[in-house]
């Protein structure tokens, strides 16, 4: 993998690069990264999942980005579509995490209002030694029976609002010691994060594919009228895929 900006540098290992980057904790909440892959024409899914957009280079960056976070948060639509399991980093990721002062594995939090989550999803049904159950973050309006159904397989946390707000989600993870949280989406959840103005870092992979269709963009449903400005921190390339790390630009 080569680094085009700043650079050029002929050969970089994302696992050496991403986890070691500085991510200072903003006041009262963790640093928030968002990681997404899109096609050259902006699609985030092909036939309902992101799998066809990726390649081994993207998998290497995906692992390195995950190795940079204490907690991974994913919204229920993504968890259902992508059939999420618990994070089980490979040895190189675990080493990079420990070198950066993190625990060996990130924790997983799922955001759902309905709690309509299939117990056959790997994150509930595939439990192995060393795994820690997922945390399901829901709202005060969640039905008690729905909470009870998930409790044998996860820790269900009811947040104050009927539908949890980004600030409450980040406050809960802050309370649990998260310095860096990684959102893996999906687009409608990212839209709420963008509206709340809490995205500190966007890791965007751009695949050399034209998909067409009606797929959503990486941030969807935002009601903000003023775009959030970001700057490019680095740009990598491998297998015709671009890996752009944006960080929020100071306002004003």
Ligand X SMILES: NC(=O)c1ccc[n+]([C@@H]2O[C@H](COP(=O)([O-])OP(=O)(O)OC[C@H]3O[C@@H](n4cnc5c(N)ncnc54)[C@H](OP(=O)(O)O)[C@@H]3O)[C@@H](O)[C@H]2O)c1
The residue range among 3-11, 18-26, 108-116, 237-245 that interacts with ligand X, by the rule CB under 6 A, is 108-116
**Residue among 154, 164, 180, 243 that touches ligand X (CB under 6 A):** 164
Which residue, 17 or 76, is less far from ligand X as judged by CB?
Answer: 76
- C-alpha to C-alpha distance for 36 and 120, rounded to whole angstroms: 25
The 214-243 site mask, x for binding ligand X (CB under 6 A), equals --x---x-----------------------
CB-CB contact of 173 with 73 (8 Å)? yes
**Residue among 36, 121, 193, 247 that touches ligand X (CB under 6 A):** 36
Q: How far is the CB of 129 from ligand X (least distance, A)?
A: 28
The residue range among 24-32, 37-45, 88-96, 174-182 that interacts with ligand X, by the rule CB under 6 A, is 37-45
Which residue has tokens 């680095």? 234
The residue range among 8-16, 106-114, 223-231, 234-242 that interacts with ligand X, by the rule CB under 6 A, is 106-114
How many chain residues are in contact with ligand X, going by CB under 6 A?
A: 31
CB-CB contact of 238 with 17 (8 Å)? no
Burial 205-221 (b: 16+ CB within 10 A, else e): bbbebebeeebbebbbe
- C-alpha to C-alpha distance for 227 and 198, rounded to whole angstroms: 13
Token output for 246: 């944006």
How far are the Cα atoms of 23, 58, 117 from residue 176, in angstroms, in the given order? 18, 30, 23
Phi, psi of 175 (to 5 degrees): -60, -30
Give the H/E segment covering residue 80.
helix 76-82
Q: Does 77 bind ligand X (CB under 6 A)?
A: yes
Residue 248: partners with Cβ closer than 8 Å, 6 or more residues away: 199, 200, 201, 228, 229, 230
- C-alpha to C-alpha distance for 68 and 55, rounded to whole angstroms: 20
Which residue, 95 or 149, is less far from ligand X as judged by CB?
Answer: 149
**Residue among 15, 34, 37, 178 that touches ligand X (CB under 6 A):** 37
**Residue among 14, 19, 106, 187 that touches ligand X (CB under 6 A):** 187
The 198-217 site mask, x for binding ligand X (CB under 6 A), equals ------------------x-
Q: Does 85 bind ligand X (CB under 6 A)?
A: no
The residue range among 8-16, 46-54, 100-108, 235-243 that interacts with ligand X, by the rule CB under 6 A, is 46-54
Q: Does 106 bind ligand X (CB under 6 A)?
A: no
Which residue has tokens 């893996």? 184
Q: Does 176 bind ligand X (CB under 6 A)?
A: no
Token output for 233: 């921190």
Q: Which residues in this chain contact ligand X in the complex, by CB under 6 A?
A: 36-37, 44-45, 48-50, 53, 75-78, 81-82, 111-114, 116, 139, 163-164, 184-189, 192, 216, 220
């Amino acid at each position: 993998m080569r680094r085009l900006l700043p650079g050029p540098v002929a050969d970089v290992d994302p696992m050496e690069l991403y986890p070691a980057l500085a991510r200072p904790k903003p006041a009262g909440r963790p640093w928030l990264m968002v990681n997404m892959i899109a096609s050259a024409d902006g699609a985030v899914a092909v036939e309902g999942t992101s799998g066809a957009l990726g390649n081994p280079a993207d998998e290497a960056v995906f692992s390195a980005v995950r190795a940079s976070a204490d907690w991974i948060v994913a919204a229920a639509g993504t968890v259902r579509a992508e059939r999420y399991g618990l994070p089980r980093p490979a040895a190189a990721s675990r080493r990079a995490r420990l070198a950066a002062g993190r625990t060996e594995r990130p924790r997983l939090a799922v955001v759902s209002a309905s709690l309509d989550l299939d117990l056959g999803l790997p994150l509930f049904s595939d439990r192995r030694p060393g795994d820690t159950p997922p945390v399901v973050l829901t709202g005060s309006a969640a039905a008690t029976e729905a909470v009870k159904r998930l409790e044998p397989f996860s820790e269900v946390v009811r947040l104050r609002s009927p539908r949890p707000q980004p600030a409450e989600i980040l406050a809960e993870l802050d309370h649990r010691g998260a310095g860096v949280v990684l959102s893996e989406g999906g687009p409608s959840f990212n839209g709420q994060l963008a509206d709340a103005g809490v995205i500190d870092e966007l890791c965007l992979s751009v695949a050399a594919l034209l998909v067409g269709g009606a797929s959503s963009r990486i941030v969807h449903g935002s009601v903000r009228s003023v775009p959030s400005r970001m700057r490019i921190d680095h740009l990598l390339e491998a297998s015709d895929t671009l890996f752009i790390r944006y960080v929020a630009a100071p306002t004003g």
